[in-house]
Amino acid sequence: MKKAAFFILTFIFIWGCGLPQETRRGVGNEGFLILLVTPNDAEVYLDGDRVGRAEQFEKDPVELKNGTHKIEIRKAGFAPETREVYAGNQSRQTLKINLKKSP
């Protein structure tokens, strides 16, 4: 009986240690950014890469890796806006930007 219990416990231990850990959002090394942009159909660039339109990040925040990031908002006919934000330790920030029409 002791051998069977030992075998079962050993199997459970080895099985649990051998599987990769689940990758989850919100493990502490990232931050989240909500964007409130006018006009809300402006394009959003994160560290030079287009990530979508501003309207999609009003309710579903941009997930940022730990560190400083460059956020740029662009729309034809408007002057672009650039901001730097720091993300980390599950920080949550809201960035409000009102684009000004180009002269």
> Per residue in 32-83, pLDDT tens?
999 999 999 999 999 999 999 999 999 899 889 988 999 999 999 999 999 9
Mean pLDDT of the chain: 83
Per-residue confidence (pLDDT) for residue 89, from 0 to 100: 80
Confidence of residue 1 (pLDDT cuts 50, 70, 90): low
| Residues 83-93 as b or e (16 or more Cβ within 10 Å = b) | eebebeeeeee
Tokens 């931050």 locate to: 31
| Structural domains of the chain in order of their starting residue, each with its CATH number | 28-98 (2.60.40.2070)
Tallying the residues shown for the chain, one arrives at: 103
